[in-house]
């Protein structure tokens, strides 16, 4: 199997003992936690997987409906977690991967996939594109234990949106109340997430994101989340072992980032791809195509010039992604006032 051709271009992070062909739509290895030295003691063993999966199953029956007060408090705890561990990229990836399995052509919940908390189960965690996300779950488990009336689906999306905002990005117009799936047999099949190096990058992105109901503009805007994080060749098959921007961390040193300040959310991703002046920065085939495909290029050029336009379009696309396939209780969802 060609690891590069099968690497997911969404986001990253990987357990050292589990080298899978996975990157990810917003980065290929986003384990940028300062506590990663502790996290690397986790192994992709049956014990580690069973810990997460069994706790998810135990909690599923009581976490279907989220409590607004607990959601607000959980948000505060996530902010503290981000400040302490610098784990913004991997938490963004977690939310994206739980939601990004959505298929608009399937009507029934939860078979259609999407933001339903299924990613906590062993069978989905073991999908190649999800390599390393057990680390994100381990980070969030104390928050879930503390706030039992926050569903896993809401927790994953809350963490993802909060990470974007705390990294300097736009405020995401989120709503909550997502209902969790309750068993592993409700998880989607493997293969719904994007790849980093497909033969036809533009066509592949459209195949995957059109399936979720996104437009070309939204595809380009969401790709801008690559401004966060880095890739590691020993985990995803992409990137350099280290660069001058990653050799000192923060977190576990090494990997190759898309941007110089890879824990800051801005429009540097688009400017750097357009200029291609620094070989320390990563450009995947699915990144390069944003300026090569004539329809994608319209939006990529716009975002390189205008960070405000990027932030506006990204916030709308991220909110849309976070709601894909979700079943809400109450049906209209829960909005948290600022």
List active site positions: 97
Q: Which tokens go with 189?
A: 């099949």
Apex 113 CA angle, 97 and 68, nearest 5: 75
Rg, C-alpha atoms of the chain:
18
What is the distance, to the nearest Å, from the Cα of residue 239 to the centroid of all Cα atoms in its chain?
18
Helix axes 152-166, 133-146, angle to 10 degrees: 110
178 by DSSP, 3-state: which?
strand
Q: How far is CA 98 from CA 27, 59, 92, 192, 324, in A?
A: 15, 17, 10, 11, 10
Q: Which residues are 10's β-sheet partners?
A: 24, 26
**Cα 91 to Cα 261: distance, rounded to the nearest angstrom:** 17
């Amino acid at each position: 199997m060609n690891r590069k051709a099968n690497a997911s271009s969404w986001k990253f992070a990987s357990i050292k003992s589990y080298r899978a062909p996975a990157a990810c739509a917003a980065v290929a290895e986003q384990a940028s936690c300062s506590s990663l030295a502790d996290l690397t003691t986790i192994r992709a063993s049956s014990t580690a997987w069973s810990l997460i999966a069994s706790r998810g199953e135990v909690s599923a029956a009581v976490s279907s409906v989220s409590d607004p007060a607990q959601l607000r408090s959980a948000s505060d705890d996530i902010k503290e977690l981000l400040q302490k561990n610098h784990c913004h990229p991997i938490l963004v990836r977690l939310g994206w991967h739980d939601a990004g399995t959505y298929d608009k052509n399937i009507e029934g919940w939860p078979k259609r996939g999407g933001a339903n908390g299924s990613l906590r189960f062993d069978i989905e965690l073991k999908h190649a594109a999800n390599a390393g996300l057990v680390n994100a779950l381990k980070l969030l488990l104390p928050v879930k234990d503390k706030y039992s009336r926050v569903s896993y689906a809401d927790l994953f999306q809350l963490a993802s949106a909060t990470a974007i905002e705390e990294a300097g990005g736009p405020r995401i117009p989120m709503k909550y109340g997502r209902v969790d799936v309750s068993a592993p047999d409700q998880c989607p099949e493997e293969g719904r997430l994007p790849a980093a190096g497909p033969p036809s990058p533009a066509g592949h992105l459209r195949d995957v994101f059109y399936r979720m109901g996104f437009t070309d503009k939204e595809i380009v805007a969401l790709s801008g989340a690559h401004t966060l994080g880095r890739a590691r060749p020993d985990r995803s098959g992409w990137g350099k072992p280290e660069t001058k921007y990653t050799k000192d961390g923060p977190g576990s040193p090494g990997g190759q980032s898309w941007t110089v300040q890879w824990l800051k959310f801005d429009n540097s991703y688009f400017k750097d791809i357009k200029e291609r002046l620094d070989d320390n920065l990563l450009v995947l085939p699915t990144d390069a195509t944003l300026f090569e495909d004539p329809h994608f290029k319209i939006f990529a050029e716009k975002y390189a010039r205008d960070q405000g336009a990027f932030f506006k379009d990204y916030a709308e696309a991220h909110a849309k992604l976070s709601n894909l396939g979700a079943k809400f209780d109450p049906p209209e969802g829960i909005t948290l006032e600022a």
